[in-house]
């Protein structure tokens, strides 16, 4: 039961994430202005996507290590 609730939590967290604003100071200075709202949103989205990849890699590697350790315990 605990495993299924954990999986459900991660699925819900993935699909119902919060809208985040992630700009460095330099990007904010260049794109800061009323006329660049669409470009600023595109830069924000790109930064968030680039930030998500390392976290996904850590999760995948962690799950692989977990499976290997679990299989060694059962043998």
Neighbours of 24 (CB within 10 A): 10
pTM: 0.47
Who's near 14: CB < 8 A, 6+ residues apart? none
Q: Which residues contact 48 (CB under 8 A, 6 or more apart)?
A: 20, 22
Q: Tens digits of per-residue pLDDT, 5-63?
A: 888 888 877 777 666 665 667 766 767 767 777 777 787 788 888 888 889 999 999 99
Residue 65's pLDDT is what? 94
């Amino acid at each position: 039961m605990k495993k299924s609730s954990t999986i459900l939590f991660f699925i819900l967290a993935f699909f119902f994430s919060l809208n985040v604003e992630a700009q460095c100071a330099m990007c904010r200075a260049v794109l800061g202005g009323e006329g660049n709202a669409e470009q600023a949103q595109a830069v924000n989205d790109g930064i968030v996507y680039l930030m998500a990849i390392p976290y996904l890699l850590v999760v995948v590697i962690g799950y692989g290590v977990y499976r290997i350790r679990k299989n060694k315990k059962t043998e």
